[in-house]
Amino acid sequence: MSRKLLALGLSLSLFAAAQTNAAPTRLSLSAPTAAARTFQPLELSLTTDGTFANPYNPAQAELNVRFTSPAGKTVTVPAFWYQDFDRATLEPKGSAGWRVRFTPTSAGLWTASASFANPGPRSVPLGFKVVASDAPGFVRIDKQNPRYFAHDNGKNTFYFPTGLNLGWSNSKGAAVLADYDRWLSQLSQNGGNLARVWMAAWSFGVEWKDTGLGDYGKRQAQAWLLDQVFEMARQKGVNIKLMLINHGQFSTTVNPEWADNPYNAANGGPLKSPEAFVTDPQARELFKRRLRYVAARYAAQPNLFAWEWWNEVNWTPIGDTDLKAWIREMTGVLKKNDPYDHLISSSYATGGTADLWKMPEISFSQQHDYSGRDLMTWGRSNVSAFTDTAPSKPVLLAEIGYSGSGNEVPLIRDRIHFHNSVWAAPFVGYAGSGMYWWWDTFVDPQNQWPQYKGLADFLKGENLATLTTGHNAAVNTLSAAALTLQSKARALIWLRSSAYDAGEASAAYTKALIQKKAGTNWTYLPPIRYGVTLEVDGLSDGAYTAYWYAPQKNVWLSVVPVTVKGGSVTLKAPTFDRDLAVKLVPAGEPRTP
């Protein structure tokens, strides 16, 4: 998103590292502080007599822990330097030291042993028991249908991402957590399960002009806050897509931050120009160091949905050829330090024709759109632009807004566009809901959170990986249209008035302005639609039940028995003015399996 951004407001100056190096002679590993369960993260502390001027530099201190499963398989996990903080004051608490985070994937007796990469002491092997849990596990590409996602805890459970951007908080210090607690609670309570979070300089970034390059001691507070956001989200059933680099850091034109970037030669860095970030050997090595630290600290989070390399990289002068070579190299580093093999993606400000999406290192494609266009109309063509390039990958609508400026007048346009982006996305082929951008200036202050509840309730229990898009139910009037997701045995249908569109609301507002009727209380009232019917084809013959749903009120309406003959059925819609949804399932099947 292109937008002038505000700072987090943290100004802590922490020096976690010791000032001199002393080779370690002792190393021990503590037992987990909490009961060990499958697909739930553990944290263990490590103690050594070694001291290091910069414990964030693997050349000085590369400390790893090898975990051995009950089946004898080993996983090597990097340890990281950690400082605890007081939640209320955000003041450092206790002494800094080494930690390792690990998420076991199977029950039974595990062992762990720590060692330095260079010759040095090894810890005594530590045994700990892991018991099975019902945690959903990591997010993978769905094995049934690679255009969707699934949880991997041995069950390949379908996962439909429903959520929005929660990039950063403009609050200061510990108040950041109050914002995230409110946002994540509202999202979770309304059925949402995905948030996109930025590691930007003003939010959770661990390296910037106040740290210099390769030493993250002055930004341990930011790293700790991100720890808390991950844990908060996990407790609420929300996954996080973590964006690693925002475009402004390496741009001199769009949200430019290059002047403050520590990679800039003007600040003592190795680069004379921002595009050299992906080609300069020293810059690449320094970023690999940061990447190792970030992976060591956050990869064990089972609710890490995916790593995102860049936000809207096209706003930088970095070309695709150099970018792809950089992604190949950095993906190798990331996978080495992320034993859980999290999904990986990136993003542009616009569309889906880039060869980037073909790369095997990229797990799924992403679309950003602020055109204000009707997703019901243009969505399928945009999804096709991605799937024509990478046909066997999911596509997420990762940023969407009525415009790139926000605070539209009248606000009803954003409300309509937001509602339609949430609902239309799955019906036109995206692998998740539309992820709205204006979380802090629109969604939260206008309490738009219940918009997610409708889609979550309607799709509950459904496996979209077994359904197909590209269908249009035939409607008996040009004043409405319907999209379907269906198989031979069921159909999910979204029916919407053609007047319930942000563009139509904008035209009505312009007319009201001309007529001098657009006062502060002006609202948009689409006409009521009576007697609308829709014909659904492609179903197996037999008895079905139609469960009608009201997306504006988030309530189920009528239950109507119908019969499919010759593969077709005609449904009579209740009276509506905006939109309706209907679930058509075999007779006897409840509306929520």
Q: Which CATH class is domain 27-131?
A: mainly beta
| Residue (of 18, 42, 39) closest to 31 by Cα position | 42
Give the strand pairing for 239-246 and 304-311. parallel
Distance of CA 293 to the CA centre of its chain: 20
Mind listing the pLDDT tens digit for each residue in 495-530?
A: 999 999 999 999 999 999 999 888 888 899 999 999
User: Hey, which residues does 61 pair with through a beta bridge?
Assistant: none
Asked whether the predicted pLDDT for residue 573 surpasses 50, the reply is yes
548/562 Cα distance (integer angstroms): 12
Tell me the C-alpha to C-alpha distance, in Å, between residue 133 and each of 35, 67, 72, 301, 388. 11, 19, 21, 15, 40
CB-CB neighbours of 131 under 10 Å: 12
Report the C-alpha dihedral over residues 505, 506, 511, 515, rounded to 10 degrees. 90
368/355 Cα distance (integer angstroms): 17
Asked whether the predicted pLDDT for residue 6 surpasses 50, the reply is no
Contact in structure between 575 and 546 (CB atoms under 8 Å): no
User: Is 334 in a helix, a strand, or coil?
Assistant: helix
Contact in structure between 343 and 364 (CB atoms under 8 Å): yes
The proportion of the chain whose per-residue pLDDT surpasses 70, expressed as a percent, equals: 96
Mind listing the pLDDT tens digit for each residue in 212-224?
A: 999 999 999 999 9
CATH node for 162-451: 3.20.20.80
Instruction: Calculate the average pLDDT of the chain.
Output: 93
Question: What burial letters (b/e) apply to 227-262, b meaning 16+ CB within 10 Å?
Answer: bbbbebbbebebbbbbbbbbbbbbbeeebbbbeebb
Identify the CATH assignment for 471-586 out of 3.30.420, 3.40.720, 2.60.40, 2.30.110.
2.60.40
Question: What's the mean pLDDT in 19-44?
Answer: 89
The two structure tokens encoding residue 254: 């769009």
Asked whether the predicted pLDDT for residue 120 surpasses 90, the reply is no
Residue 113 — φ and ψ, nearest 5°? -145, 130
Asked whether the predicted pLDDT for residue 291 surpasses 70, the reply is yes
Residue 385 — φ and ψ, nearest 5°? -60, -35
* Weakest mean pLDDT among 1-5, 410-414, 483-487: 1-5
User: Is 134 in a helix, a strand, or coil?
Assistant: coil
**pLDDT top residue among 14 and 2:** 2
CB-CB neighbours of 89 under 10 Å: 10
| Residue (of 418, 344, 340) closest to 165 by Cα position | 418
Asked whether the predicted pLDDT for residue 406 surpasses 90, the reply is no
User: Hey, which residues does 555 pair with through a beta bridge?
Assistant: 550
Q: Is 528 exposed, middle or buried (0-12, 13-18, 19+ CB in 10 A)?
A: exposed
For residue 494, what are the contacts with CB-CB under 8 A and spacing of at least 6?
A: 423, 424, 427, 482, 483, 484, 551, 579, 580, 581
Give the strand pairing for 108-116 and 92-102. unpaired
Residue-wise DSSP of 343-354 = EEE---SS-S--
Phi-psi region of 540 (alpha: psi -120 to 50; beta: other; left: phi over 0): beta
For residue 565, what are the contacts with CB-CB under 8 A and spacing of at least 6?
A: 541
Tell me the C-alpha to C-alpha distance, in Å, between residue 36 and each of 64, 105, 107, 108, 231. 20, 11, 9, 10, 16
Per DSSP, 123 falls in state P
Contact in structure between 484 and 492 (CB atoms under 8 Å): yes
User: Is 555 in a helix, a strand, or coil?
Assistant: strand
Contact in structure between 96 and 85 (CB atoms under 8 Å): no
| 34 — pLDDT class (breaks 50, 70, 90) | confident
Asked whether the predicted pLDDT for residue 14 surpasses 50, the reply is no
Question: What's the mean pLDDT in 535-542?
Answer: 96
Asked whether the predicted pLDDT for residue 19 surpasses 60, the reply is no
Residue 445 — φ and ψ, nearest 5°? -65, -25
Question: Looking at residue 45, what is its pLDDT?
Answer: 96
Type of residue at 237 = G
Dihedral sign, Cα of residue 111, residue 114, residue 117, residue 122: negative
Asked whether the predicted pLDDT for residue 8 surpasses 90, the reply is no
Mind listing the pLDDT tens digit for each residue in 451-489?
A: 999 999 999 999 999 999 877 799 999 999 999 999 999
Mind listing the pLDDT tens digit for each residue in 575-590?
A: 999 999 999 999 999 9
Query: Which ranges in 437-591 belong to alpha helices (H)?
Result: 450-459, 502-514
* Weakest mean pLDDT among 403-412, 481-490, 565-574: 403-412
Question: Looking at residue 320, what is its pLDDT?
Answer: 94
**What's 514-554 look like in SS3?**
HCCCCCCCCCCCCCCECCCEEEEECCCCEEEEEEEEECCCC
Mind listing the pLDDT tens digit for each residue in 150-204?
A: 999 888 899 999 999 999 999 999 899 999 999 999 999 999 999 999 999 999 9
Question: What's the mean pLDDT in 314-328?
Answer: 97
Q: What ranges do the domains of the chain cover?
A: 27-131, 162-451, 471-586
Per DSSP, 77 falls in state E
- In a 13 Å sphere around the CA of 236, the CA atoms on its Cβ side amount to 26
Contact in structure between 540 and 491 (CB atoms under 8 Å): no
Say which residue the tokens 């139609």 belong to.
Answer: 546
Contact in structure between 486 and 468 (CB atoms under 8 Å): yes
Q: Could you check whether 27-131 and 162-451 share the same CATH topology?
A: no
User: Is 450 in a helix, a strand, or coil?
Assistant: helix
| H or E stretch covering 109 | strand 108-116
The greatest distance separating any two alpha carbons of the chain, rounded to the nearest whole angstrom, comes to 83
